Structure 1
Amino acid sequence: MTVIPHVEPFLEALVEELAIPESRYRQAETSYKTLGDWFHREESTVREFGPNVYSQGSFRLGTAIRPRTEAEEYDVDSVCELNFLGKVDITQAKLKAMIGEEIKAHHKAQSMIKPVREGRRCWILDYADGAQFHMDVVPALPNGVDQRLLLEARSLDTRWASTAIAITDVEDPAYLVPTMDWPRSNPKGYSEWFKWRMEAVLQRRKHALAENLRQKGIAASVEELPDYRVRTPLQSSVMLLKRHRDNMFAHNTDVRPISVIITTLAAHAYDNQDTIADALSVILSRMHQFIGHDGQKYVVPNPTDPLENFADKWETEPGKADAFFQWLEQARSDFGRASEATTFQKMNEAVAQRMGPVLTAKAVNRAGGGLLRSATVAPAAATPSFANTPRTPTTPKGFA
């Protein structure tokens, strides 16, 4: 059996099989715009408050992946922020109800069949079965000024504070009463932080794409190209790690590591590597270094709001912490073996169990036209190795 030059084509093929089509991004954008237009119609009860609907989560970050099965749906997360209303003017419950009434009216006007559902922090619009997605809409108010003051008072980083929002949460003790202390979030700030962590590579790839389009006679500027038209090794790595996690915990979702922890630690560890293989090597070997421990609990701070601990549930549910470190060890082992393999078949065998055998088989065909396709021999140094990476994460002592 002949050897292949590098694991990179296989990883690139895996990502392409995981990636959602551009049409899904456009479909999500259309959904936000349609809902936003509805909030701005003349009869709207929230029009005077300057509603702004925008995306958050994996669609905003460019790390969305296909569902594991046809029975699963895309989860499109969004925010409806009322720009001209403040926490002093309204309670969480009233804001939630106000946005909910407009969403229900939109649902009726669009003749949507599945009923509007209420979540803990959001309203959920279920689209037709053929669309295979639902949209979560989180009611929100601007919170940039208060967030900056809060962080400044503690001498914490305020770079991302301007886009902070206050959100509703039915489980918040002050949900029904007037208060200035609302649950906080900052999806725009987080996406800007994530983008900042890969800025050098993102810009290089957008310039390359713009030049490629110009050579084909298509006018395109870097500024006009949406970020989702290119994909960085950081985004690709997060996509691979999320699917590996999904399959590893398919039958134990209660302790499954949450995406925001994986994404945050990966972004911290990433250092603008140009290939997926190099990015994965660095991320998997370093991500545990960005988990803090204050002597009592693990801490994974929200980079846009250091007062929020993404790993807060690890304290009361230690099984979640154990699951994360077990997953990290397994990911190091699986991708490490793939990086050291010299045939597509061996790469496939290394990750098939936790990436999914159907997915990996398709990736092999995409990368090399079949498991046994011949390829040239590469220098030994061309393949990054995880061999020296500790298989068991050390107990985190602080931030690197």
Structure 2
Amino acid sequence: MAGTDPQVEKFLQALVEELVIPVSRYEQAETSYKSLGDWFHRPESSVRNFGPAVYVQGSFRLGTAIRPINDTEEYDIDSVCELRTLTKSDLTQFDLKQLLGQEIKAYHDAKGMTKPVREGRRCWVLSYANGAQFHMDVVPALPNGVEQKLLLERAHFDPKWADSAIAITDRDVPTYRLRSDIWPRSNPKGYGEWFRSRMASILLRQKQLLVESLRRQGITASIEKLPDYRVHTPLQAAVMLLKRHRDNMFASEPDVKPISVIITTLAGHSYGEQDTIAGALYSILEGMDRYIRHDGTKYIIPNPTDPFENFADKWEREPRKAEAFFRWLEQARQDFARVARATTLQSMNEAVGVRMGTALSERAVRRVGGSSGGLLRAASAAPAGAVPTFGNAPRVPTTPKGFA
């Protein structure tokens, strides 16, 4: 039956292996934000007494980072610096951003970094040397867990993820220079935990298998100490494939390109704990638009950790973004359905080569053709339920998983 051929799974695995960033990149990101955290805690630091905590967010936190399309692009490492003993009543957003900015600029100078520190709308940007091929966005933040939990409870939403919520700076909001309780909100740790919860059982199984493999090689390892980024679940793999497909499809239309957090959120909701990449991918493509609501005026894709935040808020003002998303989804369904129906590696390559990248897809074909095991272990057949149909039946919006 189409979609159950183990060679389809091997081809998808090979595509993912071509997208996976080296472990050294994750280690490099970890080293970079820990180094900045150490700087904030040095004796001379002006923020040392405010409990600075630096941590990564975004795709590096979720394990869905992918290689840049070409060598001229940089890895974007998104991080947060949270001053844990300060509150919104202590200073303005502007004050917080300048306070962190002074320390970040001092770090830049002390480390002999040549590219200037740049100020973004919400963050400071540290650009590393050309050979490093990455930059780090540092978002200033304050704790906001107590306020967020009260906000959600009053509205009868589940506050499960609220404890790690933060307040962040945004120079475009009216209250940026005012002492106010009204700050932009975020919760990267909570979002990361939500995403992890959608794949928790298979993540544990994969880490167990890797630990056993390492031990057989005489390498000491434990599940507790093994970083999540050492394995990739079918959910993470599917998100990576969809992000690259999106990147190439909108290479000439970057202003309407569907944003990663929308793809990741809808994928997380649609994933049904499949244990193959094919099963996960086709389940996600079949179901992800079921988690987009429309209230008669606008599209709504709520943040799983903060239902008051609508990830599709720009779609109302810029309808082209909504059109682009649904156009991309239909194209992804067509392309990966062709992969599922394909009977040869070459026909799989032809199905997605244009939008996955011809060179990348051809490398995946060679990887499968020359595989004798290793990373491309034999895949079990995808369940019958994974066979893509992608019909045009009308969608009935449902409540996304993880909401009250």
- TM-score band (shorter)? over 0.9
CA shift, 1:181, in A, is 1.1
Listed one character per residue, the Cα deviations across residues 311-367 of structure 1 (whole Å, up to 9, x for unaligned) are: 000111111111100000000000000011011000000000100000000000011
* AA partner of residue 228 (structure 1): Y
CA-to-partner distance for each residue in 1:17-66, whole Å, 9 max, x for gaps? 01100000000000001100000001100000010000000000000000
3-state DSSP of counterpart to 2:86: coil
Q: Deviations over 1:188-214 (max 9, x none)?
A: 000000000000100111111112222
Give yes or no for contact 2:340–2:388 (8 Å, CA) kept in 1.
Answer: no
Match of 1:138 in 2: 139
Secondary structure, counterpart of 2:218 in structure 1: coil
Distance in structure 1 (CA, Å) of the matches to 2:331 and 2:296? 26
- Distance in 1, Cα, partners of 2:32 & 2:264: 25
Aligned to 2:351: 350
Equivalence for 1:373: none
Q: For the residues of structure 2 that align with 1:321 and 1:399, how far apart are their CA atoms?
A: 20
For 1:206 and 1:381, locate their aligned partners in 2 and report how far apart those are by CA, in whole Å: 21
Q: Name the structure 2 match of 1:40.
A: 41
The Cα of 1:385 is off from its aligned counterpart by 6.1
Q: Which amino acid aligns with 1:294?
A: D
Alignment of 1:374-385 (within 5 A): none
Determine whether 1:177 maps to 2:178. yes
Structure 1 residue 216, shift from structure 2 partner = 2.1
8 Å contact from structure 1 (residues 273, 279) kept in 2 = yes
Q: Which residue of structure 2 lines up, in the alignment, with residue 220 of structure 1?
A: 221
Give the match's secondary structure for 1:86: coil
The structural deviation recorded for 1:397 is 3.8
Distance 1:299 1:393 in 2: 20
Task: Give the Cα separation in 1 of the matches to 2:293 and 2:380.
Answer: 39
Q: How does 1:189-200 map to 2 (within 5 A)?
A: 189-200=190-201
1: distance between equivalents of 2:349 and 2:393?
25
AA aligned to 2:154 is A
Task: Give the percent of matched residue pairs that are identical in Structure 1 and Structure 2.
Answer: 65
| Deviation (angstroms), 1:394 | 4.1
Contact 1:339–1:385 (CA under 8 A) maintained in structure 2? no
Please state how far the C-alpha of 1:217 moved relative to its aligned partner. Answer: 2.2
Whether the 8 Å contact between 1:292 and 1:299 is mirrored in structure 2 is yes
Structure 1 residues 190 and 16, CA, compared in 2 at 3 Å: closer, same or farther?
A: same
The alpha-carbon distance between structure 1 residues 218 and 73, as it changes in their structure 2 partners (threshold 3 A), is same
Q: Residue 55 and residue 381 in structure 1: after superposition, are their counterparts in 2 closer, same or farther (change >3 A)?
A: closer
Counterpart of 1:306 in 2: which secondary structure? Answer: strand
Distance 2:388 2:156 in 1: 41
Equivalent pair of 1:325/1:393 in contact (CA under 8 Å): no
Residues 105-184 of structure 1: pairs in structure 2 closer than 5 A: 105-184=106-185
Shift of 1:399: 3.3
Alignment of 1:1-400 (within 5 A): 5-369=6-370, 386-390=387-391, 394=394, 397-399=397-399
| 1:56-90 CA distance string (max 9 Å, x none) | 00000000000111111000000000011111101
1:382–1:286 distance in 2 versus 1, CA, 3 Å:
closer
Deviation at 1:221, TM superposition (A): 1.6
Pair 1:175–1:157, CA change in 2 (3 A): same
Count of matched residue positions in the alignment of Structure 1 and Structure 2: 390
Q: TM-score, length-normalised on structure 2?
A: 0.93
TM-score w.r.t. the length of structure 1 is 0.94
Answer yes or no: is the 8 Å Cα contact 1:6–1:383 preserved in 2: no
Distance 2:15 2:56 in 1: 26
Q: What secondary structure sits across from 1:145 in the alignment?
A: helix
Is the Cα contact below 8 Å between 2:279 and 2:382 reproduced in 1? no
Deviates further, 294-303 or 183-192: 294-303
Moved more, 5-14 or 48-57: 5-14
* Structure 1 unaligned regions, length at least 5: 371-377
Contact 1:329/1:393, CA 8 A, preserved across alignment = no
CA pair 128-380 structure 1, distance change in 2 beyond 3 A: closer
Compared CA separation, residues 301 and 286, structure 1 to 2 (3 A):
same
Q: CA deviation at 1:395?
A: 5.7
SS at match of 1:89: coil
Task: Supply the RMSD in Å over aligned alpha carbons.
Answer: 1.9
Q: Secondary structure at the match of 2:7?
A: coil
SS in 2 for 1:20: coil
Deviation at 1:271, TM superposition (A): 1.2
Deviations 1:211-230 (A, max 9, x none): 22222222222111110111
Q: 1:5 touches 1:382 (CA, 8 Å); kept in 2?
A: no
- Secondary structure at the aligned position of 1:296 is classed as coil
The answer for the alignment partner of 2:375 in structure 1 is none
